[in-house]
Each structure stands twice: as C-alpha cells, then as structure tokens.
Amino acid sequence: MDPPELMDELVEEVLLRVPPDDPATLARAALVAKRWCRLVPMLGFLCDPDAEADDRGFHPTSSFRPPRADRRGLRVHDTRHGRVLLHKHPYYHGAVSLVVWDPITGERRELPRLPREATRRSWKATVLCTAAAAAGDCDHLDCHRGPFVVVFVGTDNDEMFSCVFSSEAGTWSNPVFAQHPGHRLGWGRSALVGNVLYMLFQKKKKRILKYDLSTGQKSVIKVPPVRTTKVSKPYVPIELMTMEDGRLGFARVVRSRLFLWSTNAEGARWELREVIELKDLLPLEDPIAAATPNLVGFAEGVGVIFLTVGLGTFALDVKFNRVAKVHS
C-alpha cells in the first residue's frame, strides 16, 4: 500500500525552509512530482511556441508567479537575474529594437536605438545585473530591483562590434570593433562564467564567442567534434551551460545519449564529464515522440537541463538522473 501524499500545506512548509540562496535544492525538489513542481514558486520559465524553430526554447527566469503579461509584437531574446530581454517582432522590419521587462513588477523599459546596426539576425544581446557585469559577485536574490546592463554583440559586412547599455546612464556606450569572425552570431542562450560571457555562433559553426565584460576583448574558441568510430559527424546542436562548479560547459544529444562537457580547472581545454543514456529516462519508444530528444534550455548553475520529446517537455537533473515532465 502506497503511503498517503503530504498535504500541500506541509510541502510548502518544507520548501519554505530551503535557504533562498540555494536554488539548486528548490529546482531538484520541483522534480519530485508534478505537485511539488506546482508548489515551487522559483521555477519561472518563458516559452515562445510561435518562434521560429531555431529560436524556440525555454528561458529560465528568477522566482516569480507572473501576472498575465501583454507581450504582443515582442519575442523573448534573453533572460537573466530577474529580467527578460525582449525584441520587437518581426525582427527584419527596421532596426533592432529591445525592451527590458521585469516580470515581477510588470515594469518595461524600451532601450534607445543602437549606435550601430548589425546584419539581420547576426547579433546577440544579453541582460545582466550591473554587479554581475562589473565583478561577477552578485547573489541575484533581489537584484532585479537594481541597475542593469545589456551587452550587445553584432556583425555587419565588414567587422564585429559590441556596445553596452547602462540603465543608470540611460545610453549605449560607443561601439568597440574587432575583426570579423567569419561567422554569424546565433540567438542561443549565452552562458555567464564569472565576468565572461560566452555566445554561440549560428548552427553548423562549431565555435563559441568569448566576451570579457571587464576588458571588452573578444576571442573565438572551438567546440570538440562529435566522433563515432573515429569518424567526425556533422554538427550537432549544443546548449551552453554554467556548471555548478562555476566552469563553462555545454550539453549535446547524440542519438539517445546526452553528453556533458566542461572546461578544465584552468579553462584551457574541454573535458567530457558525463554521458547519460536518455532511453532509460525519457519515453523514446513512444511512436509519437521524435527519434532524438531536442535540447531547449537549462537552469543556470543548478544542473537542470530541459529537453523536448515528441509533444512533451522534460526537466532532467543531471546530478541525480531524475526526470520530470513539465509541459505537454
């Protein structure tokens, strides 16, 4: 005989005793059961089902239960530190237009026009709290109320450039130029490691852009190839991650296996951390499901990855190999 379920009030009492600076424990508690996921208030996600296939995904946010928001004509581009960065849609009509939205208070701030225009869809913008951009030492418990910056990196036909918007100054910085990397920037979620941002180039390009927030310097690093029986495979999409130990990492799915990579302690080379067999965790035998799970996002710093299989979305805790269906 199965034991009786805990009353919602008791579950809430348990969750309230989790320290607020320990989001990893709350994220894992949400994977215990659908009821627990419903009761954990910190799991906020924005999903844009109408976005194009390459842009579709979940965007983890901070702790909130949002009111109904009117975002007509806007698409989610980035989320971090309690804020959501939106861009006006369709993106190909006129100049890039960005809006920062606080989903807790509903406050929206439309950013001024960029000092330079990027080639259509060859740009990436990231919203950060000012403290994280300056020193990377904010605990992000309540920084959505404070100042923020938006880092914009784009390319045109000749070169790559970057500029930073400050909410305190209310203006963009002058653009800083660098040699054209030869590839177009993608809209995949960026990863913040210390005060360094990492951004993906568009699909079929096995490279990552490294952007130092303190110096503005940019460099390109390569992603390890996919090899099977010593033969390189075509490009497989990846999801950049900030690992729980603070290192840069990424995940990718090859057939039914999830590969987790991270940089070594010196950050000089890639190391394969773990290989997880997904067919033991996800309904891959379901005839409605796709042959290969698709990566759609991650919860920064807590080791939870989101994948879609068929019509369902699943959260995978990579530390304990625990899976919960979070959307269908």
Q: Give pLDDT tens digits for 86-143.
A: 988 655 556 788 999 988 778 899 999 999 887 777 899 999 988 877 766 676 666 7
Q: How confident is the model at residue 170 (pLDDT cuts 50, 70, 90)?
A: very high
pLDDT tens-digit readout, 145-166: 789 999 999 988 888 999 999 9
Residue 9 has pLDDT above 60, yes or no: yes
pLDDT score of 36: 62
Quote the Cα angle for 75-184-90, to 5°. 25
Find the mean pLDDT for residues 202-215. Answer: 82
Contacts 24+ apart (CB under 8 A), 58-67: 58/296, 58/297, 58/306, 58/313, 59/84, 59/189, 59/297, 60/297, 60/298, 60/299, 60/300, 61/103, 62/104, 62/140, 62/144, 64/103, 64/104, 65/41, 66/103, 66/104, 67/106
Q: Check if the beta carbon of residue 130 is closer than 8 Å to that of residue 149.
A: yes
Residues in the chain: 328
Rounded to two decimals, the pTM is: 0.77
pLDDT score of 65: 45
pLDDT score of 32: 62
Q: How confident is the model at residue 286 (pLDDT cuts 50, 70, 90)?
A: low
Of the candidates 48, 63, 66, 24, the one whose C-alpha atom is nearest the C-alpha of residue 315 is 24
Residue 66 has pLDDT above 60, yes or no: no
- Of 79-83, 116-120, 168-172, the poorest mean pLDDT is in 116-120
Report which listed range, 20-24, 52-56, 147-151, 233-237, is most confident.
147-151
pLDDT score of 113: 92
Query: What are the domain boundaries of the chain?
Result: 1-43, 46-222, 226-328
pLDDT tens-digit readout, 261-282: 999 877 778 999 999 999 888 8
Q: Check if the beta carbon of residue 152 is closer than 8 Å to that of residue 127.
A: no
pLDDT score of 218: 92
pLDDT score of 293: 85
pLDDT score of 183: 81
pLDDT score of 39: 52
Sign of the CA dihedral 47, 52, 53, 55?
negative
pLDDT score of 207: 87
pLDDT score of 114: 92
pLDDT score of 287: 54
Report which listed range, 203-212, 262-271, 282-291, 294-303, is most confident.
262-271
pLDDT tens-digit readout, 38-65: 555 444 445 554 554 444 444 554 444 4
CATH classification of 46-222, choosing from 2.40.128, 2.60.40, 3.40.50, 3.40.1130? 2.40.128
